[in-house]
Structure 1
């Protein structure tokens, strides 16, 4: 059977003007996951990412570590189907409807870095509305539309893959969540409960034969734990 390694990007720049940039911790996480793959003797046939900078930077940093170890590092291919959903667009579209019951929401969002737990509570509430399909907006990509986008990317990958290939896909937490939903049939709300636990640079593994795909492992972050540096375990 073939393997698809789903690798979440390293820590991005939460609470800054440009989230789509790896933090110094995020760069280190990317290097560690690449060194871990090399140490485990993982030989990759292909490497793919979405077109977001944090995804590509993670992929390139990890592949550089493979090269340092003397392993072949495949050229990075880009498929926007593996992009993250637009969280900012979800917030902009759905926030006005909850302001009457959450009057402090704007203040929390303006100071998200200082109010992480309250931001997470509000964000989870908005995501719950988004995935329900009851609050769809014409200007906002729906949850079902996002899942369809990810499914198209997975199908393109499987159509071009050989059954014994090992493929790395550098992507994001929401994309991994959509894949969990597609592959296991888990409900979207339960899938997002798992989403909040996905560690930056964690490894999940899919096994495939033809179009048959199964989940082999989820959210492994032993490569970070072995560093014995707690600040390397991040979720956003």
Structure 2
């Protein structure tokens, strides 16, 4: 059987003007991940990333650990199917309908870094509405269309894969959530309950034989836990 390692990007710049940049912690997480994979003797036949900068930077920082030991890792391919859904777009178009019940929501969402717990509560409410189709706007791509996008990326991986390939996919939490939904049949709502637990640079592993795919492990972050540095275990 072959394996697909789903790797969530390192910590991005939550609360900054540009979220799509790894923080110093995010870079360190990616470096630790790369060394951990080396220590386990994991090598990759292919490496694929979405085209978001935080995903690509995570891939480069992790694979540099291979290069530092004289190994030549695979070229990082790009496939936008493994991009994160546009959370800002979801918030922008669904928030107006939430404001009558949550009049402070706009302020909280604009200042999420200072209101992390409330930000997460409101974001989860908006995502629930998005997943359920409980909104009037026609200007936001649907959850179903996002799942279809991710499914297309998975299909392309499988079509090109050899039977015992190890494939790394550097991606995001929402993409991993869509894959959980597709592969295990868990409802979208339950999949997003798991989403909130996905640690930055965690490993989730899929096993495949031909077009058959199964979930083998989820959200492993032993590489961070072993360092006994709680600040490296982040969720956003």
Q: TM-score, normalized by length of structure 1?
A: 0.99
Match of 1:3 in 2: 3
Task: Tell whether the 8 Å contact from 1:130 to 1:136 is kept in structure 2 after alignment.
Answer: no
**Is 2:13 aligned against 1:13?**
yes
Match of 1:31 in 2: 31
- Structure 1 CA distance for aligned equivalents of residues 201 and 157 of structure 2: 21
Match of 1:177 in 2: 177
- Structure 2 CA distance for aligned equivalents of residues 109 and 134 of structure 1: 20
- Structure 2 CA distance for aligned equivalents of residues 132 and 153 of structure 1: 23
User: How many angstroms does 1:137 deviate by?
Assistant: 2.7
**Is 2:101 aligned against 1:101?**
yes
- Structure 1 CA distance for aligned equivalents of residues 184 and 158 of structure 2: 17
**RMSD across aligned positions (CA):** 0.8
User: How many angstroms does 1:134 deviate by?
Assistant: 2.8
Task: Tell whether the 8 Å contact from 1:27 to 1:61 is kept in structure 2 after alignment.
Answer: yes
Match of 1:86 in 2: 86
Count of residues paired in the alignment: 236
- Structure 2 CA distance for aligned equivalents of residues 136 and 51 of structure 1: 30
* The 10-residue stretch of structure 1 (105-114 or 15-24) with the greater mean CA deviation from structure 2: 105-114
- Structure 2 CA distance for aligned equivalents of residues 193 and 202 of structure 1: 16
Task: Tell whether the 8 Å contact from 2:97 to 2:135 is kept in structure 1 after alignment.
Answer: no
Match of 2:157 in 1: 157
- Structure 2 CA distance for aligned equivalents of residues 218 and 136 of structure 1: 34
Task: Tell whether the 8 Å contact from 2:49 to 2:79 is kept in structure 1 after alignment.
Answer: yes
Match of 2:59 in 1: 59
Per-residue Cα deviation, 1:103-150 (whole angstroms, up to 9, x for no partner): 000110121101000000000000000000232632111000000000
Q: Show the 5 A alignment for 1:77-156.
A: 77-135=77-135, 137-156=137-156
Consecutive unaligned residues in structure 2, runs of 5 or more: none
Task: Tell whether the 8 Å contact from 1:12 to 1:20 is kept in structure 2 after alignment.
Answer: yes
- Structure 1 CA distance for aligned equivalents of residues 126 and 25 of structure 2: 28
- Structure 2 CA distance for aligned equivalents of residues 137 and 171 of structure 1: 27
Runs of 4+ more than 2 Å apart = 69-72
- Structure 2 CA distance for aligned equivalents of residues 218 and 70 of structure 1: 30
Per-residue Cα deviation, 1:28-57 (whole angstroms, up to 9, x for no partner): 000011111111000100000000000000
Q: TM-score, normalized by length of structure 2?
A: 0.99
